[in-house]
């Protein structure tokens, strides 16, 4: 069966005098997970709520395939959209077991078929042994997997997830996320993942859209967004960056036209002993599997992320070079 694209076409949403989503167009394609990334208050949840029909649009339209779901003055109710929703707080029915929660949306099937379908979803999410447990007997990660199973079991036309993993213990988060998103991907439907975590967006989404102050800054495949940001804001949204105006860039490091801005990712600063660009190592700390260096270069602080093996310690003088693939020059100050 051909699945439909869920799209926002020039949507805006205002509260009183403040426009929190402005003229946003975004296509959620079937089979792709699109991460909607941005800081707190960027308008991510509001855009998700416009897709879901939990809020009306003030301008623009929401479409599912050939069907208009929202226009100014017309909002198809959330339960008529056949779109699955997942929130941070799981929102399971407390008086129903895991299996009964998943069966909830399957009433049209009849008891026997609904039970079989619910069990197959629980199995896919590695929850078979927990089928009879009530929500209060389940861990956060288990509850969220039940919520995902419950959302996907009725075969929704799309799924919208608002920070679904941010309430989970970091040690469990990536396991739950991988299991949940594998099931979402297998469903082959449009999927939106709202997150404020750039690593989560890059690790788990196929497509990334960046929202700032209600505006969509850029969207594209995750790797393209990381390697070809169109602005300093986009580069900064996807991970840590070093930012310098042209006149702050130490001579010999890289040519930056006057008035432009240099943005370099920490892993774009390479240690190269023979380089004439010298820097002092102010601090050298473990950061995950890498080493994070705080460098002083002619009075400028730079953060570098280098392989742990052979990383210089604090107090050393080193030569550095920039990796052109991770160094970006933009016309004017934007961060
Ligand atoms: P995000 O999900 O990116 O953190 P939100 O979409 O929740 O951002 O909110 C965007 C802006 O809209 C925020 O400034 C928030 O305070 C405001 N906002 C959200 N919901 C309402 C509401 N119901 N009434 C008034 N302002 C709201």
The bridge status of strand 67-71 relative to strand 74-75 is antiparallel
Q: CA distances (Å), 222 to each of 47, 130, 168, 200, in order?
A: 20, 35, 23, 11
Residue 42 in contact with ligand 1 by CB distance below 6 A:
yes
- At 172 the pLDDT is 84
Residue 195 in contact with ligand 1 by CB distance below 6 A:
no
Task: Quickly count: other Cβ atoms within 10 Å of residue 216's Cβ.
Answer: 20
DSSP E strand stretches across 41-110: 59-64, 67-71, 74-75, 83-86
- At 91 the pLDDT is 85
* CATH 2.40.50.140 domain range(s) in the chain: 240-334
Return the residue whose CA atom lies nearest to atom 22 of ligand 1.
15
Return the residue whose CA atom lies nearest to atom 7 of ligand 1.
45
SS3 207: strand
Q: Walk along the chain (335 residues) and give the pLDDT tens digit of each residue.
A: 679 999 999 999 999 989 999 999 999 999 999 999 999 999 999 999 999 999 999 999 999 999 999 999 999 999 999 999 999 887 899 999 999 999 998 988 888 999 999 999 999 989 999 999 999 999 999 999 999 999 999 999 999 999 999 888 888 888 889 988 999 999 999 999 999 999 999 999 999 999 999 999 999 999 999 999 999 999 999 999 999 999 888 888 899 999 999 999 999 999 999 999 999 999 999 998 999 999 999 889 999 999 999 999 999 999 999 999 999 999 975 44
- At 333 the pLDDT is 53
- At 167 the pLDDT is 84
Tell me the fold of 240-334.
Answer: OB fold (Dihydrolipoamide Acetyltransferase, E2P) (2.40.50)
Alpha-carbon distance 89 to 94, whole Å?
12
CA of 46 to the centre of ligand 1 (A): 6
> Has domain 6-231 been given CATH number 3.40.50.300?
yes
CA of 21 to the centre of ligand 1 (A): 9
* CATH 3.40.50.300 domain range(s) in the chain: 6-231
DSSP assignment, residue 164? T
- At 197 the pLDDT is 94
The pTM assigned to this predicted structure is 0.92
CA of 157 to the centre of ligand 1 (A): 26
Q: Which atom of ligand 1 is nearest to the CA of 55?
A: 23
CA of 45 to the centre of ligand 1 (A): 7
Residue 40 in contact with ligand 1 by CB distance below 6 A:
yes
Residue 45 in contact with ligand 1 by CB distance below 6 A:
yes
């Amino acid at each position: 069966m051909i699945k439909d694209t869920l799209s926002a076409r020039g949507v805006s949403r205002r509260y009183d005098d403040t426009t929190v989503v402005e003229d946003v167009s975004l296509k959620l394609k079937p089979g792709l997970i699109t991460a909607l990334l941005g800081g707190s208050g960027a308008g991510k949840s509001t855009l998700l709520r416009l897709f879901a029909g939990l809020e009306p649009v003030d301008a623009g339209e929401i479409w599912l395939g050939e069907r208009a779901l929202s226009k100014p003055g017309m909002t198809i109710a959330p339960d008529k959209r056949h779109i699955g929703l997942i929130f941070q707080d799981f929102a399971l029915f407390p008086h129903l077991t895991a299996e009964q929660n998943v069966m909830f949306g399957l009433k049209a099937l009849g008891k026997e078929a609904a039970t079989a379908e619910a069990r197959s979803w629980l199995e896919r999410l590695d929850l078979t042994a927990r089928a009879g447990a009530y929500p209060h007997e389940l861990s956060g990660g288990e509850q969220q997997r039940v919520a995902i199973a419950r959302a996907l079991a009725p075969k929704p036309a799309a799924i919208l997830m608002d920070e679904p993993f941010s309430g989970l213990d970091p040690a469990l988060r990536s396991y739950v996320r991988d299991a949940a998103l594998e099931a979402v991907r297998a469903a082959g439907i449009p999927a939106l993942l709202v997150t404020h975590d750039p690593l989560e967006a890059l690790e788990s989404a196929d497509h990334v859209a960046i929202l700032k102050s209600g505006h969509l800054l850029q969207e594209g495949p995750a790797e393209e967004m990381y390697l070809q940001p169109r602005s300093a804001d986009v580069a900064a949204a996807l991970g840590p960056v070093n930012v310098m105006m042209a006149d702050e860039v130490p001579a010999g490091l890289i040519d930056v036209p006057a008035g432009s801005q240099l943005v370099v990712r920490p892993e774009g600063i390479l240690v190269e002993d023979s380089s004439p660009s010298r820097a002092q190592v102010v601090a050298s700390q473990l950061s995950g599997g890498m080493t994070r260096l705080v460098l002083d270069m002619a009075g400028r602080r730079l953060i570098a992320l280098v392989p742990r093996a052979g990383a210089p310690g604090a107090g050393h003088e080193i030569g550095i070079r920039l990796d052109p693939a991770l160094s970006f020059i933009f016309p004017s100050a934007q961060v």
